[in-house]
Amino acid sequence: MMLILQVGIFIVLAGITYQDFRYRGIYWWMFPILFILLVLNTLHASSVELMLSSALSSCFFLGIQLVLLMAYLSLKRGRIVNIFSGFFGLGDLLFLLTITVVFSFLNYLMFYMISLLIVILLSSFRVGKLQGKGYKIPLAGYQAIFLSILMMLQWQFPRIYLHADEFLNNLLVYGN
C-alpha cells in the first residue's frame, strides 16, 4: 500500500513539475489528488492531531508571508497590488498549501526558505539571459522537484523524518 502511495505522489509531483516548466500553469485537480496522497502517506507514521497542528501553523506562516509581500509591493507601487497578477502564481500558493501536511512546522519553514533561495539562484541565471521577455519562474515546479528529493531521502534514510523536528534540531544544534 505504501509503495502505491509513494509512486502516486511521485507521479503527481512529476506532473506538476512538467506542467509548470512547460506551460507555467498546473491543472487545479492535481492539488486535491496530491493532498489526499500526502495526507494518507503522513498519517501512516504520524497522528492526525500532529499533522493538523503543523499544517495550520504552516498555513498561518504562509498567510503572513503573502500579506507582507502584498504590503511591500503595494507600498512600493503606491497602490494596492494583487500579488496573484504577475508576482505570485495561484498554482504556487496551492502547492505550498498542499504540502503543509508533509512537514512539521520547523521543517516546513526550512523547506520554504531553502527552496526559495535555491530557486532564486537557479532562476537568476536564466532571467539574466531572458531579460525583458516576461520570464516567469516555475516555483511550484522547482519545489516539486525538491520535495521529491526530500521524500526519496526520507524513504532511504528513516532517520530523516519530515513530520518531526528531532532530526533537524539535532542537525542544527549538535551537527549530527
pLDDT digits (tens, 9 = 90+) for 106-155: 999 999 999 999 999 988 877 666 555 567 889 999 999 999 999 999 88
Interior CA angle at 86 toward 81 and 88, to 5°? 85
Task: Measure the CA–CA gap between 169 and 172, rounded to whole angstroms.
Answer: 5
pLDDT digits (tens, 9 = 90+) for 20-56: 999 989 999 999 999 999 999 999 888 999 999 999 9
Query: 33 in the Ramachandran plot: left (φ > 0), alpha (ψ -120 to 50) or beta?
Result: alpha
The alpha helices in the chain, defined as continuous H runs, are 2-23, 30-43, 48-77, 90-98, 105-129, 139-156, 166-174
For residues 92-96, average pLDDT:
97
Average pLDDT, the chain: 90
pTM: 0.90
Instruction: Please tell me the predicted confidence (pLDDT) of residue 123.
Output: 85
